Amino acid sequence: MKILAIESSCDETAAAVVEDGRKVLSNVVASQVEEHKIYGGVVPEIASRRHAEAISGVVEKALSDASLTLDGIDAVAVTYAPGLIGALLVGVNYAKSLAYSKKLPLIPVHHLRSHIAANYITHSELRPPFFCLVVSGGNTAMVEVRDYTDFRIIGRTRDDAAGEALDKAARTMGIPYPGGLNMDRLAKDGDSSAYKFPTPKVENSPYDFSFSGLKTSVINILHNAEQKGVEINKADLGASFQKAVSDCLCKNTLKAMEEFGYTTLAVAGGVSANSVLREALTQMCKAKGFKLYLPELSLCGDNAVMVGSQGYYEYLSGNTAGPELNAYAGKAIDE
């Protein structure tokens, strides 16, 4: 089954053709990073306009790269939630038009479900059930993947997502957008023990996360240094901050996996590309004898390949939609 997949939840206009959920026939991504860099972050109105301008060309290239026309496509899958509402609507409306005009099944795909599915492309042997840590700019959650379309949230962030905290801390430090990525690069030569950060806890919710306090600590460190005329080593501060975020993610993940009896861990989302987190999770799983699955770096960020992969399993479970399909800025993975 060949699925044309479309992704437009934030600032990447993407299209791909995926066969039977695991084989990539094409993968096209049009990035807006350089334009949003001017503003230090994604501007929703600009993102929506750029999606509208790029989507036709991106889809045409995805079909061309797969040596197909729409006549060779069996279904259309599209990200419908969560994300920037204007950006999502561009992809959803385009996908609805294609599906309606060609009388193809339309498959709505949840953005976080598709991030998890990126691991199915990287690791052909991976099958549910398994435990998954989802870490991105807009979401952070620990999820039981009971089956391809059966999910249960074990813990989630109560405030900032991990990626959001990294980006905001980087911006406060004067690190250019995209902050998390550039902090990771800058901090490679930094001393991760140079600055001490608190260990966030959510009272009566042992599996939930909180990152706003860590972000505030960075602001306080910078303000105190400025008042005292002390120079901050950004590489050291970035390394220390990344370690604090990584330690929090690893600690809760290990606690939940042991509590619920999982020995297989997958990681998903943009922050799964962070070198500090990847190494920390690798060492944690090695020490505990857990099996670890990490998506290849090219599939950590937003792309349509992961949408096509998850779309296949959504279709098999009977999850299709008609012209009434709408986009949603917020929607839980297990709804």
Q: What share of the chain is helix, strand, coil (3-state, %, to 5)?
A: 45, 20, 35
Can you give the CATH number for the domain in which 88 is found? 3.30.420.40
Query: Do 18 and 146 belong to one domain?
Result: no
| Residue stretches of the chain with pLDDT short of 50 | none
C-beta of residue 155 within 8 angstroms of C-beta of residue 149: no
Q: CA torsion sign, 19 to 24 to 30 to 31?
A: positive
The answer to whether residues 307 and 286 belong to one domain is: no
Tell me what pLDDT residue 210 has: 95
Token representation of residue 278 = 């990847």
Residues 151 and 257 in one domain: yes
pLDDT score, position 201: 87
Do 256 and 290 fall into the same domain? yes
Same domain, 160 and 203: yes
- Which domain range does residue 293 map to? 127-299
The tokens for 197 are 């950060």
Contact between 294 and 278 under an 8 Å Cβ cutoff? The reply is yes
- Are 103 and 141 within one domain? no
Does one domain contain both 147 and 35? no
Q: Record the tokens describing residue 76, joined without a space.
A: 């259309």
Q: 15 has which bridge partners?
A: 6, 28
- Same domain, yes or no: 84 and 172: no
Considering the domain architecture, whether residues 214 and 295 belong to the same structural domain is answered as: yes
- Distance of alpha carbon 64 from alpha carbon 58, whole angstroms: 10
DSSP string, 78-147: EEEESS-HHHHHHHHHHHHHHHHHHT--EEEEEHHHHHHHHHHHH-TT--SSEEEEEE-SS-EEEEEEEE
335: CB partners within 8 A, 6+ apart: none
Task: State the amino acid at position 253 in one-letter form.
Answer: T
Q: Is residue 217 part of a domain?
A: yes
Q: Quick check: is 165 in a domain?
A: yes
Q: Is residue 40 part of a domain?
A: yes
Domain check: are 133 and 78 in the same one? no
Q: Are 82 and 139 in contact (CB under 8 A)?
A: yes
CA gap 175, 179 in Å, rounded: 6
- For 54, residues 6+ apart whose C-beta sits below 8 A from its C-beta are 13, 30
- Does some domain include residue 20? yes
Q: What is the pTM of this model?
A: 0.96
Beginning with the edge strand found earlier in the chain, give each strand of the sheet holding 2-7 in spatial order.
23-31, 12-19, 2-7, 75-81, 106-110
Helix axes 162-172, 212-228, angle to 10 degrees: 10
Distance CA 277, CA 225 (A): 27
Residue 295 included in any domain: yes
Whether 294 and 311 share a structural domain: no
What is the phi-psi region of residue 295: left when phi exceeds 0, alpha when psi lies from -120 to 50, beta otherwise?
Answer: beta
- Would 59 be classed as within a structural domain? yes
Classify residue 321: in a domain, yes or no: no
Structure tokens at 27: 């993968």
Residues 26 and 146 in one domain: no
DSSP characters for 299-331? GTSS-SHHHHHHHHHHHHTT--B-TT----S--
Domain assignment present for 51: yes
Number of domains observed in the structure of the chain: 2
pLDDT for the residue numbered 169: 96
